[in-house]
Amino acid sequence: MAVLQPLLQQSWQELHKMTFTLLLPLLFLFSFLYVFKCIRNSEKPNLPPSPPKLPIIGNLHQLGSLPHRSLHALSKKYGPLMFLYFGHAPSLVVSSADMAREMMTTHDKVFSNRPKTIATNFLLYGCIDLAFSPYGEYWRKVRKVCVHDLLSIKRVQSLHYVREEEVAILMNKVRDSCLKGVSINLSELLIETSNNIVTRVIFGKKFEEQDGMGKPSELPRKVMVLIASFFWGDFFPSLGWIDILTGLLPSLKSTGREIDAYLDEVLEEHYKTAKCDDDEHLNKKDFVDIFLQLQKDGMLGFELHHENLKAILLNMLIGGGDSTSTTLEWVMAELIKNPSIMKRAQEEVRRVVGNKSKIDVDDISQMNYMKCIIKESLRLHTPLPLSAPRETSESVKFGGYDIPAKTRVFVNVWAIQRDPKLWDRPEEFIPERFIDNPNDLKGQNFEFVPFGGGRKGCPGMAFAVAAVEYLLANLLCWFDWRLPTINAQGEELDMTEVNALTAFRKNRLHIVPILHSS
């Protein structure tokens, strides 16, 4: 026993040594894993509140047919910043003026990109336009040309003759209907007139019927609807084939071919005209003429290829015409619903115009109540209820939360402009709220941003407002308006909206014009 004791002691020491040798690395490994887990947990981003999501589809099922309304309802529970997943796409929804202000001022540069979608990539030639091109040197140069050379206040004023001529044609059509005593499809007439104004300013010609094109004046709205449509491939890249089965992708390609053919035709005409240097033509330059002249003089600052020009011009075409006609549809619908407001507006317009046979551009500056009506309509029926999506260029600390890079960002303008904390009786149409009100349309007061704000604010605001004001003044001055007899028997005017990139009326506005006799 005495002999075994040293051996047992030696064996125990060796076992203890071996165990220690094995345990030490294991202990180190577990310690490392524990520290790594703690660090990983501490680095987990502090995301904004989020509604519960489903596997694979995320929060897509919560969008509904009118996303601005569905997201507004969710924001009441989850707050002004919500983080959602639309399929594989992380998304942030901003629903308060304070958060919109912080986003478009303090962090505007980070939030100035746009996500590239199937529709924008196809229709806008790889997103080389103004609205959807990445924020950077090319975007800055294109915007500079658009703001200073095409859409400045001076340029907008110089183009009044186009608005005047097209509105005169519209007024004659309405007068002809007055003689027959029948209702008119005012929506269709407004779309046609708005698009004719825009196409004449951009291309120097109106939309014309072409073989296989149907009604070309409907093309801008078709493009708007497609840009806002749900493509499976945008949210589930492996399921893009579903867009073929639904017919959406074929429709996208068909519309793209139509608009591309139209743009090719008008640009080819301009290339020929530019070579001719016709003096009479140069007296009234359209936007294409200006682009080509700037390119010739080396004043653009960027390479203007054929497809770049088509993409930029298509931006203006879909943005200018559709937003104008949509705004006017809603204004006239609200005035029909509120006859006392219409009467007050007509009295103002007719007092300013007096016995003149046409409305001068200077007359508009005196129609203050009419301008309040337009603002109130833009508040209740903003053309872009959900702003065109942005995308974060890098991770950012925003509103106390961590927002990852490549997050899609939507500003719920509709929710902000109906916020009861900001607006008294927000669901009612009350133009008087804008009398002596500092809120303007320039995107500096973030409780009222119908044209957006920050770097990505709409550069065509002055152009759109000028068209809306002149059209509305003429509609109010020369005619009285009522619903058709079938709707006048106490039936409520349908105000249902349809979601596209702009929120337009679901049903066309059919109303009866009555020639005003002073």
Q: Which residues are annotated as a binding site for heme?
A: 458
Q: What angle do CA 245, 246, 249 make, to 5 degrees?
A: 85
d(CA 338, CA 136): 46
Contact 393, 110 (CB under 8 A): yes
Q: Where are the alpha helices (DSSP H) in 126-285?
A: 137-145, 153-158, 160-180, 186-203, 219-228, 232-235, 242-245, 248-276, 279-282
DSSP symbols for 341-376: HHHHHHHHHHHHHTT-SS--HHHHTT-HHHHHHHHH
- Which residues are CB-neighbours of 330 under 8 A, at least 6 positions away? 377, 380, 381, 505
**Residue set of the binding site:** 458
Contact 447, 97 (CB under 8 A): yes
Return the bridge partners of 397, or none.
402
Return the bridge partners of 253, or none.
none
Tell the residue number behind the tokens 């075409």, with chain if given. Answer: 317
d(CA 131, CA 452): 12
DSSP symbols for 418-483: T-TTTSSSTTS--GGGGTT----SSS-STT--TT--GGGS-TTHHHHHHHHHHHHHHHHHHEEEE-
Contact 132, 116 (CB under 8 A): yes
CA neighbor of 375 nearest in space, from 299, 438, 298, 295: 438
- Which residues are CB-neighbours of 340 under 8 A, at least 6 positions away? none
CA neighbor of 110 nearest in space, from 490, 340, 406: 406
**Phi/psi of residue 83, nearest 5 degrees:** -110, 120
d(CA 116, CA 113): 9
Structure token digits, residue 211:
């073989």
Tell the residue number behind the tokens 């002055």, with chain if given. Answer: 462
d(CA 59, CA 403): 18
